[in-house]
Structure 1
Amino acid sequence: MNWADYGSYIEIYPPKEFNFEECLTFLGRSNQEVLHQMKGKSIVKLIKVDESLILCKIGYINHSIKVEFLISTPSGPSRQKVGEYIWEWFDLEQDVEGFYRAAHQDQILKNLLINMMGYGLYVYRIYLKH
């Protein structure tokens, strides 16, 4: 995980192909979602770490995912676990660069990528992992 801990918040540095706006669109497709709430250009999510519940505001600033802790600042290890959870949630470990190169050679995937750039991690899962 590529991240920085600033105490009262953390920043997660996703791969260059990551598109937070597209994730907001995907995650905001239903106003009946109970696992997170959309607040403007941010996501508010309650994350369980060990026995604690940590309320987070997840936004995107200057090519980084900024995670603010809304009620209290968790311990250093808990902040790291929140970062790891979000890293996994957005599947940021996945190397999609090779997929993008291959998809640009395929007529069907090429058009899909043009329309869905930023959903790349989801497209990767749908077409290559399942």
Structure 2
Amino acid sequence: MKWEDHHTHVEIALPADFSFQECLRFLGRSDQELVYTINEGHLYKLLKIDTAFILCDITHKENVLHVQFSNEVPTFAVKQEVVSFISEWLDLDRDLTAFYHLASQDEILHKLVVRYQGLRMIRIPDLFEALTWAIIGQQVNLTFAYKLKKRLTEMYGEHRTFRDKRYWLFPDPASIAELTVDELRGLQLSRRKAEYIIYVAALIRDGQLTKAELGKRMYDSVKKSLVAIRGIGNWTADYVLMKCLGRSEAFPIADVGLHNAIKVQLGLHEKPALKQIEMMATKWEGWQAYATFYLWRSLYDEQV
């Protein structure tokens, strides 16, 4: 990723197929979100790199992302980490040419890639946040999942205040690993989910589960390791492979939202069977994650 250092801000070069506005529309789908803030075209994200708290004010200017450091000017090394995080978060390093070509000829996707041209996969770079969010979202609606995430962040996440506004970090696994199940149940998490989250937090804290190690392995090996963990089934593993590890072939085929989106796009009277979806997805080979993501995006139009 090419970028330039301008002392109090950095500028990140953007790929050809990128729309900041489309990314903001997806990011802004819930007013319960705390780990980033959107205000009048500005995307604010608090990062903790080593011991430094860096508040990033991200805007789009011509062909670059302009990242202003609002609270303090970080070192060059920290700036590199910031650029790396944002590039991963907004999936800036991926060439979407092949996906757009494939999608333009697909019965389901061709309208979506025109409607949401430039939308990038909004990823979750932190492994603990990705796993926790996936566990929280199991078998509950998205609105309630966001409420649970907000409660967890406010109770156990760190924050910094800038110009009378609080900016939050998702809780650290080390802090969550020390909690009791009853403490998490106080947030209205089920007992099972509380157990799963604490267990995953301990695995990450103790170095038994790392993003770096997972990233070195073949897809099937990673998925097998993830589903072996208590509380992580196929859907959760596929979600984490897609949103955290950036595997474009990840396909959460059992996702209810995916089923509903396909139903709407094809004008069906009922949700398609898994076998039907498998057949449709043969045309999405290598890009199942992006196909899924664009279909998820279409659901928010239906809710407006």
- In the superposition, the TM-score normalised over structure 1's length comes to 0.91
Moved more, 72-81 or 105-114: 105-114
SS at match of 1:26: helix
Equivalent residue for 2:10?
10
SS at match of 2:68: strand
Which amino acid in 1 is paired with 2:69?
F
SS at match of 1:107: coil
Q: Is the 8 A contact 1:11 1:67 kept in 2?
A: yes
Q: Is the 8 A contact 1:94 1:121 kept in 2?
A: no
Q: How many residues align?
A: 129
2 CA distance for matches of 1:112 and 1:6? 37
Equivalent residue for 2:67?
67
CA, structure 1 residues 47+55, in 2 after alignment: closer, same or farther (shift >3 Å)?
A: same
2 CA distance for matches of 1:41 and 1:85? 20
1 CA distance for matches of 2:118 and 2:27? 13
2 CA distance for matches of 1:35 and 1:121? 17
Which amino acid in 2 is paired with 1:21?
Q
Equivalent residue for 2:24?
24
Q: How does 1:1-130 map to 2 (within 5 A)?
A: 1-121=1-121, 125=248, 128-130=287-289
Higher strand residue share: 1
2 CA distance for matches of 1:121 and 1:27? 10
Which amino acid in 2 is paired with 1:85?
F
The unaligned stretches of length 5 or more in structure 1 are none
Deviation at 1:103, TM superposition (A): 1.2
Deviation at 1:112, TM superposition (A): 1.4
1 CA distance for matches of 2:25 and 2:37? 12
2 CA distance for matches of 1:121 and 1:33? 17
2 CA distance for matches of 1:99 and 1:53? 36
SS at match of 1:108: coil
1 CA distance for matches of 2:120 and 2:100? 8
2 CA distance for matches of 1:88 and 1:53? 19
Q: Is the 8 A contact 1:4 1:11 kept in 2?
A: yes
Could you list the per-position Cα deviations for residues 69-102 of structure 1 after superposition, in whole angstroms to 9, with x for gaps in the alignment? Answer: 0011001111111011100100111111111112
Deviation at 1:41, TM superposition (A): 0.3
2 CA distance for matches of 1:86 and 1:129? 23
Sequence identity percentage: 36
- In the superposition, the TM-score normalised over structure 2's length comes to 0.40
Deviation at 1:120, TM superposition (A): 4.8
Q: Is the 8 A contact 1:58 1:65 kept in 2?
A: yes
Q: Is the 8 A contact 1:96 1:121 kept in 2?
A: no
Which amino acid in 2 is paired with 1:15?
P
The unaligned stretches of length 5 or more in structure 2 are 123-246, 252-283, 290-304
Moved more, 20-29 or 113-122: 113-122
2 CA distance for matches of 1:45 and 1:13? 19
SS at match of 2:108: helix
SS at match of 2:58: strand
Deviation at 1:129, TM superposition (A): 4.0
Could you list the per-position Cα deviations for residues 35-94 of structure 1 after superposition, in whole angstroms to 9, with x for gaps in the alignment? Answer: 111111011110111221101100001121000000110011111110111001001111
